Structure 1
Amino acid sequence: MTASLTITRPDDWHLHLRDGAVLRAVLPATARHFARAIIMPNLVPPVVTGADAAAYRDRIRAALPHGQDFTPLMTLYLTEDTDPDDVADAHAAGLIAAVKLYPAGATTNSASGVRDFDRVRPVLERLADLGLPLCVHGEVSDAEVDIFDREAVFIDRVLDPIRRATPGLRVVLEHVTTREGLEYVRSADTGLGATITAHHLVINRNHLLSGGIRPHYYCLPVAKRETHRRALVAAATSGDARFFLGTDSAPHVNAAKETACGCAGCFTAPNAMAVLAHVFEAEEALERLEGFTSINGAGFYGMAQNTGSLTLVRGDEAASCPPSIPTEDGPVTVFDPGFPLHWSVSE
């Protein structure tokens, strides 16, 4: 027995594509399913100027296989030296869709991020004037703060003061992982949204740590307690337009993941939609999947919905997904949700 669900073609509002060989290998997995994606700028060196963003956009376009239709939505990496005029010019040229805030040291390739938030206030004020969203990695990097508490502390110490000091600033709290984060987003009348990943909907910290350390479940923000995971599922499947998909699909070659100090990130691009269909079906909320993946994010960013469609098919037999994707730099392991996936995208 099979069943199918056809939805407006989805978008990914938080995506890592990397560069070079990895970019060329992983981009097709996203472009097969998603029409657009917000592209993270934390390369080495980072994408900090409009010229950097234009060059990176061109490399992405050059890596796109012939016949695939995909639009990269570029972002700038906010530093304490970011020029507000350069941001405004890049926005006016239609080059960027957002600016990304990394607290220095909070995650992969975040060393160039912000330490003194007063120094970026002119940029934040310009963003508010432009209506250009600020995408936020919502964790403090203070070593004295427990890693499982860093999102909640960031909201209290950094995000709420920034929003209070900058009226009109539109903010996306990316890859929210806690009940506190969800409650904060719900507390705002306007101007605040949040992305939720596919992997945070299905794993908690036991999956990462129980019975051995599983490096391919290690991500930042780190997976939290089961109570937080259940709260994320409830938010994603609720129909609340403030929550939308950002996969945070983050490829690393296995040599960088399976090591004494492995990189953070789960590579979910090939099977994110199948994982989501499983989660929404389990919650008897399949009719809300389209809103979460295809409507809410476009609404927050002020963009038109996509005109194409995507069909998911459910079969009695588990669908197959390659365990890894080869690259010239080594294989990249695909996220394993830990259960059979009966949903797949009809190619």
Structure 2
Amino acid sequence: MTQITLRRPDDWHLHLRDGAMLRAVTPETARHFGRAIIMPNLMPPVVTGAQAADYRERIRAGIPEGSDFTPLMTLYLTEETDPADVAKAKAQGIITAVKLYPAGATTNSASGVRDFDKVRPVLETMAEHGIPLCVHGEVVDGDVDIFDREAVFIDRVLDPIRRATPGLRVVMEHITTKDGVDYARAGGDTLGATITTHHLVINRNHILVGGIKPHYYCLPVAKRETHRQTLLEAATSGDKSFFLGTDSAPHTDPNKESACGCAGCFTATNTMSVLAEVFEQQGALDRLEAFTSLNGPAFYGLAPNEARITLEKGDAVRYPEKIETGDGPVTVFDPGFPLHWRVV
């Protein structure tokens, strides 16, 4: 096979930041994707419907002319979130989901949740109105090894939340372990899971062997090769529980290459080429559309995109090493192998 046509894909987990960075990176996603769930962890975070509406307008201003890319907005869940504001923002078509960050789990998550009992009224309102909860699934307890955070979160936090609020629709974002795959598969119709492009490619050796590689450092951190293989099997299986959420996260090179480097891989530019290569290696090109274009809309209760994109296989594609922004250069994710598939 040297050509494949898919419904236009969606990205169910995306960081666009704000200001000069937003204006530089938004076209990288809008080029190939129809919609994206936009993360609200700005500084300060997007916590009200009014703030989400304002942020959406700033994103729309950065979309290239002629593009029909649609940002799908989220609210940042805090212990002070007003359930009525969440319901109103959903009814007005401002938000698609609410994002849960355990406090301190990742970039700009200091305003996240510490006491989950305090957000129970919000979760109940979300279940009533069919608003999905997007979850950064890691505990941050000092006694938990960073490589075990996801598995412990499932046991200590996620499973109790879902049992206490059985109608709540939950997306386990950027799963990285066999534990996450197994739990998503057993979760029924109210549970889905996104898998990133980079977690299908890298394991923890890529970050640490031969010197620290800051542009492979992300949160959740990449795990053992056995976990990566499980993610590959899940993503390429066609199982409706799994869909693409790139977690493409732009940071300038100085902020990545520092004594305390930021977490995140910027994959918006070359994700479709990387995924086509990975799915072909797994003998699963016929299931790429399910992962990128069908399973996510089905979980969110949306129709798949009518537009199509075509990928062709040929000589190696050369992507820019960096995207220049008004804040500084951002390094594009390097999968470590040639990419022969391109969107035409």
Q: Same fold (TM over 0.5)?
A: yes
Gaps of 5+ in 1: none
User: What is the rounded CA distance, in whole Å, between the counterparts of 1:39 and 1:325 in structure 2?
Assistant: 20
Displacement after TM superposition at 1:326 (Å)? 0.2
Amino acid at match of 2:10: D
User: What is the rounded CA distance, in whole Å, between the counterparts of 1:246 and 1:110 in structure 2?
Assistant: 19
Q: Deviations over 1:246-291 (max 9, x none)?
A: 0000000111100000000000000011110011000110000000
Is the aligned partner of 1:343 residue 2:312?
Answer: no
Amino acid at match of 1:273: M
User: What is the rounded CA distance, in whole Å, between the counterparts of 2:99 and 2:244 in structure 1?
Assistant: 17
Tell me the secondary structure at the aligned position of residue 33 of structure 1: coil
Q: Matches of residues 84-123 of structure 1 in structure 2 within 5 Å? A: 84-123=83-122
Q: Deviations over 1:125-164 (max 9, x none)?
A: 0011011100000000112100000000000000000000
Identity rate of aligned residues, in percent?
Answer: 74
Normalising by structure 2, we get a TM-score of 0.99
Displacement after TM superposition at 1:189 (Å)? 2.0
Displacement after TM superposition at 1:65 (Å)? 1.4
Normalising by structure 1, we get a TM-score of 0.98
Gaps of 5+ in 2: none
Which residue number corresponds to residue 324 of structure 1?
322
Is the aligned partner of 1:26 residue 2:25?
Answer: yes
User: What is the rounded CA distance, in whole Å, between the counterparts of 2:159 and 2:166 in structure 1?
Assistant: 11
Displacement after TM superposition at 1:64 (Å)? 1.1
User: What is the rounded CA distance, in whole Å, between the counterparts of 2:142 and 2:248 in structure 1?
Assistant: 26
Which residue number corresponds to residue 131 of structure 2?
132
Q: Matches of residues 1-347 of structure 1 in structure 2 within 5 Å? A: 3-315=2-314, 317-346=315-344
May I ask how many residue pairs the two structures share in their alignment? 344
Q: Deviations over 1:217-239 (max 9, x none)?
A: 00000000000000000000001
User: What is the rounded CA distance, in whole Å, between the counterparts of 2:56 and 2:188 in structure 1?
Assistant: 34
Amino acid at match of 1:336: D
Question: Displaced runs of 4+ in structure 1, greater than 2 A?
Answer: none
User: What is the rounded CA distance, in whole Å, between the counterparts of 2:166 and 2:281 in structure 1?
Assistant: 39
User: What is the rounded CA distance, in whole Å, between the counterparts of 2:35 and 2:246 in structure 1?
Assistant: 12
Which moves more between the two structures, 183-192 or 286-295?
183-192
Displacement after TM superposition at 1:118 (Å)? 0.3
Tell me the secondary structure at the aligned position of residue 326 of structure 1: strand
Amino acid at match of 1:31: A
User: What is the rounded CA distance, in whole Å, between the counterparts of 2:54 and 2:188 in structure 1?
Assistant: 37
Amino acid at match of 2:317: A
Which moves more between the two structures, 210-219 or 62-71?
62-71
